[in-house]
């Protein structure tokens, strides 16, 4: 009975118009095709739904009873389809976005108030996660992540300028520990790790043609970069975070930046999503709001 919805809708229109000719014109199909459709559903139900003469059409008692139950359901379906179509044409509805907490502060929050005023019918549902995720499996509309973690089959739009990682310690920590001059010196320091669900983030360094990676070894690791910096501020050890987020703390002398010449810039955060095809207007509005020029 896979065709019943269309045929039931056609039956309701014939019953409303009391005419196969007018109903066929309204549906944009031939009168013979419409008659064939109605005969098909009557045959499957084993009931005559419409009484026909050469001059008129009217629902039978069975047809009237069916129509009484059918009309509200068809109206709900029509409203649902109209609402879905509206999301294609008008920025409205919900956007499910997954994004690291640090990126939420740097990318979304600075523009959220203006976005909400411009698009009052859009609701952002933001989930925080540092890990790259499968958007489709997780039922997210889009995500924000560092470019290196985004799968190649995704469409990506840049939402930050180039960024750089900063390696920092507190003045208190460096009162009793030497300042590292080379990444290899970190083996003699307490390093506060940042942890993804599948393991610690390895610190990557580059200078000229030299590149090396350090696995942080220390007394603690966190899955929240803000907690890493809180531990660093308390003199627990050396940690890393995005340089932009630490600028005020470095300027105020609460953090000491080290190995700066070993920390090159990288592309930064991108908003990514599965496809450009049939993109909802709400998602297009979010992309336009957050996008920055290359």
The domain segmentation of the chain, as residue ranges, is: 4-88, 93-161+268-290, 163-266
Label residue 115 by pLDDT band (50, 70, 90): very high
Q: What is the pLDDT of residue 86?
A: 64
What whole-number distance in Å separates Cα of residue 181 and Cα of residue 8?
A: 77
CATH code of 163-266, in short, is 3.40.190.290
* Mean pLDDT, residues 75-96 taken together: 77
Greater confidence (85 vs 10) lies with 10
Greater confidence (83 vs 64) lies with 64
Q: What is the pLDDT of residue 27?
A: 86
* Mean pLDDT, residues 155-171 taken together: 95
Q: Nearest CA to 38 among 126, 104, 30, 80?
A: 30
Which range (131-135, 158-162, 266-270, 275-279) has the least confidence?
275-279
- Helix 20-27 crosses helix 4-17 at what angle (to 10 degrees)? 130
- Hey, do 4-88 and 163-266 end up sharing a CATH topology, with the first three levels equal? no
CATH code of 4-88, in short, is 1.10.10.10
* Mean pLDDT, residues 167-174 taken together: 97
- Render 237-263 in DSSP notation, one character per residue: -BEEEEHHHHHHHHHTTSSEEE-GGG-
Q: What is the pLDDT of residue 191?
A: 97
Output the CA–CA distances (angstroms, integers) from residue 211 to 147, 207, 240, 263, in the order listed.
19, 6, 17, 10
Q: What is the pLDDT of residue 278?
A: 64
Quote the mean pLDDT of the chain: 89
Q: What is the pTM of this model?
A: 0.69
* Mean pLDDT, residues 43-65 taken together: 85
Largest CA distance in the chain: 103
Contact 121, 90 (CB under 8 A): yes
Q: Nearest CA to 286 among 141, 127, 103, 82?
A: 141
Contact 141, 97 (CB under 8 A): yes
The CATH number of domain 93-161+268-290, selected from 3.40.720.10, 3.40.1380.10, 3.40.190.10, 3.40.1190.20: 3.40.190.10
* Mean pLDDT, residues 262-267 taken together: 92
């Amino acid at each position: 009975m896979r065709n019943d919805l269309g045929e039931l809708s056609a039956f309701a229109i014939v019953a409303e118009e009391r005419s196969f000719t007018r109903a066929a014109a309204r549906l944009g199909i031939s009168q013979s095709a419409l008659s064939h459709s109605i005969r098909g559903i009557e045959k499957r139900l084993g009931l005559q739904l419409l009484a026909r003469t050469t001059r008129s059409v009217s629902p039978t008692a069975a047809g009237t009873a069916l129509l009484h139950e059918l009309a509200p359901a068809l109206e709900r379906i029509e409203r649902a389809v109209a609402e879905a179509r509206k999301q294609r044409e008008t920025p409205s509805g919900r956007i499910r976005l997954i994004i690291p907490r640090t990126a939420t502060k740097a990318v979304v929050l600075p523009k959220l108030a203006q976005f909400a005023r411009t698009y009052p019918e859009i609701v952002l549902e933001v989930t925080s996660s540092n890990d790259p995720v499968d958007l489709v499996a997780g039922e997210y509309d889009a995500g924000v992540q560092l470019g290196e973690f985004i799968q190649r089959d995704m469409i990506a739009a840049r939402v930050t300028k180039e960024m750089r990682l900063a390696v920092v310690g507190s003045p208190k920590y460096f009162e009793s520990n030497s300042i590292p001059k080379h990444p290899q010196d970190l083996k003699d320091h307490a390093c506060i790790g940042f942890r993804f669900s599948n393991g610690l983030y390895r610190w990557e360094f580059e200078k000229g043609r030299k590149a090396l990676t350090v696995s942080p070894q220390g007394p603690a690791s966190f899955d929240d970069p803000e907690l890493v910096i809180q531990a660093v501020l308390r003199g627990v050890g050396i940690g890393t975070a995005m340089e932009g987020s630490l600028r005020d703390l470095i300027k105020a002398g609460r953090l000491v930046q080290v190995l700066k010449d070993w920390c090159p810039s990288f592309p930064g955060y991108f908003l990514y999503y599965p496809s450009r095809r049939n993109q909802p207007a709400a998602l297009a509005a979010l992309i336009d709001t957050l996008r920055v020029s290359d």
